[in-house]
Amino acid sequence: MTSIGNMLSEGLGISLVVFLPLLGALIILFIPKTQDFLIKIVTLASATVTFLLSLVVAFQFDYSKAHTFQLGNKLTWIESINSNYEIGIDGISLPLLLLSTFISVLAIIYSFEHLPEPVNAKGMMSLILILETGMNGTFVALDLILFFVFFELVLLPMYFMIGIWGDRTKRSVAGFKNEVETRLYASIKFFVFTLFGSAFMLLGFLGLYFRGSKTFSIPELIELGSSGAFTGTFATLVFAVLFLGFAVKVPMWPFHTWLPDAHTAAPTVGSVLLAAILLKLGSYGFVRIALPILPEQAKAWAPAIAILSAIGIIYGSLACLAQTDLKRLIAFSSVGHMGFVMLGISSLTSIGINAAMIGMVAHGIITGLLFFISGSMAHTYHTRDMGRLGGNMKLLPKTGALLGFTAMASLGLPGLAGFWGEFMALLGAYNPLSGLNITVFRTSMVAGAIGTVLTAGYLLWMLQRVNLGEPDEEWVNQDLHDADNYELAAWIPLVILTVLIGIFPKIIFGSTNDAVINLVTKAFGG
């Protein structure tokens, strides 16, 4: 046990959590393409060991010092620009790291019997593992260049997932003479939007470097930021470009347009990972970098962020009411749910940022499960048209019951995980940080409350169309298969987590609360 503790305290444990999936992907490269089962076993073993190591990290983490970066290390990397391999976790990053490693395991289990066409276990499994390395690395990076590398690493695997295994139906696109395949359009749009945001984010990082004693160290820049080192027009411009970079990734309205297309076109596993983890990289960037390093600019921008968040909540809900495609409805719901996350962050209070943290985890679990279920239904029925999916409870009772449960969790039913993030975000907006415009935030709170009603409306409407009523004649005599063991093995843990976090939110707050309070106190003085 002592040797394990030493390994963790020296940062090796966290490094293994980051790079073990990449090692698994490299091993897969040497396995013949025909050995599908062996490829799947190696992939599952890599992800499972990574998850177990992240649990060991969580047990070794000192929760009484959750506000400090722990279990990491700092090694010289690019000496010429003073960029280091600096890693560590605190109470803010720990829940997201655990979410990333856990969801990756479930995605792989699901893929055992549900690989999309064209079936290529080697390609799909290696991309999942590379993606996991990027996600895990982003949550533990404490150097801006290292953060940027991991942040960008997730771009290519998701691009190829959508572009190769995505929806092959053709659609008309403005500006194109001929119809284009949905997967190609969505993958290019995802790539361009994300790269656009990342370019601005990098500009912000370089600005902080040249004004911040030429360091890329996030802890050092936080100290400089809290002491008032970044001020004036320069700091405003830096915050603006960071805002663009992170807002595109969240995505916030009006930078959200890539998301419905990407989700709709992506294979099921791609949609799950995109919703559960990748959307959190943007909101995490706000909490980890933008707020603590540029606190005065965060206060100046907070009302605008609150307004955009409120618009996103309302817009996402109204867009859901207009959808006929089940998967596209769930995609637009993410715009609304991430609006609540950003509304909590914009309040700049411990209640609001804690709301954002539990909201991120809850959204990852619940919406990830919704995409699992919708993907399974699309595979069974060969359609996502809700007009044709009536009577699902009679045809696929297990899938229908789980869809009903997850919809209740998504609309924020008390006792389930989705409740806490939305409720506390509204509380944060009601009483934002002292000095912020009360009228703006309370108006945003009212808009958010209306959004919860609209959320209940579109989810109940979805359940009525999909689950209830009599099945369409085209399905009556067909041999339809309900959820299999692989699907249930991937879904049931998410159901359990949804209930546990709903009843015991301390599972998340026990990690985040002290870290968030320290962030708010240090950056904003209260």
Give 262 or 104, the one with higher predicted confidence: 104
Residue 6 is predicted with a pLDDT of 53
**Cα 292–Cα 138–Cα 515 angle in degrees, nearest 5:** 40
Phi, psi of 307 (to 5 degrees): -65, -45
Q: Which long-range contacts (CB under 8 A, 24 or more apart) does 237-240 make?
A: 237/207, 238/204, 238/207, 238/208, 238/211, 238/294, 238/297, 239/204, 239/290, 239/294, 239/297, 239/298, 239/300, 239/301
Q: Which H, E and C letters describe 23-56, residue by residue? A: HHHHHHHCCCCCCHHHHHHHHHHHHHHHHHHHHH
Residue 4 is predicted with a pLDDT of 53
Res. 482: pLDDT tops 50: yes
Which tokens sit at 228? 């008032």
Rounded Cα distance between 442 and 428, Å, is: 9
Q: How far apart are the first and last CA of the chain?
A: 40
Q: Once rounded to an integer, what is the mean pLDDT over residues 69-83?
A: 87
Question: pTM for this structure?
Answer: 0.92
Which tokens sit at 131? 């993606």
Which tokens sit at 222? 């936080």
| pLDDT band with cut points at 50, 70 and 90 for residue 1 | very low
- Other Cβ atoms within 10 Å of 495 Cβ, number: 18
Res. 211: pLDDT tops 90: no
The residues pairing with 180 across neighbouring beta strands, listed in sequence order, are 171
- Residue-by-residue DSSP string for 172-205: --TT-SS-EEHHHHHHHHHHHHHHHHHHHHHHHH
Rounded Cα distance between 350 and 516, Å, is: 6
Note the pLDDT tens digit of each residue in 355-369: 999 999 999 999 999
Note the pLDDT tens digit of each residue in 21-73: 999 999 999 988 888 899 999 999 999 999 999 999 999 999 989 899 988 88
Note the pLDDT tens digit of each residue in 292-348: 999 999 999 999 999 999 999 999 999 998 888 888 899 889 899 999 999 999 999
Classify 449 as helix, strand or coil: helix
- Other Cβ atoms within 10 Å of 73 Cβ, number: 16
Res. 393: pLDDT tops 50: yes
Rounded Cα distance between 286 and 306, Å, is: 13
Residue 212 is predicted with a pLDDT of 67
Residue 177 is predicted with a pLDDT of 66
| Count of positions (residues) in the chain | 526
DSSP state of 387: G
Instruction: Give domain limits for the chain.
Output: 2-524
Q: Once rounded to an integer, what is the mean pLDDT over residues 427-438?
A: 90
Q: Once rounded to an integer, what is the mean pLDDT over residues 236-253?
A: 90
Rounded Cα distance between 302 and 276, Å, is: 25
Q: Once rounded to an integer, what is the mean pLDDT over residues 149-167?
A: 87
Residue type, 157: P
Residue 449 near residue 371 (C-beta atoms within 8 A): no
Residue 475 is predicted with a pLDDT of 75
β-bridge pairing 83-89 and 70-78: antiparallel
Instruction: Please state, for a pLDDT cut of 70, what percent of the chain lies above it.
Output: 96
pLDDT mean across residues, the chain: 88
| pLDDT band with cut points at 50, 70 and 90 for residue 209 | confident
Q: Is 323 left (phi over 0), alpha (psi -120 to 50) or beta?
A: beta
- Which candidate, 231, 234, 230, places its Cα nearest to that of 220? 230
Which tokens sit at 437? 């415009």
- Which candidate, 409, 404, 376, places its Cα nearest to that of 468? 404
Residue 91 is predicted with a pLDDT of 92
Residue 362 is predicted with a pLDDT of 94
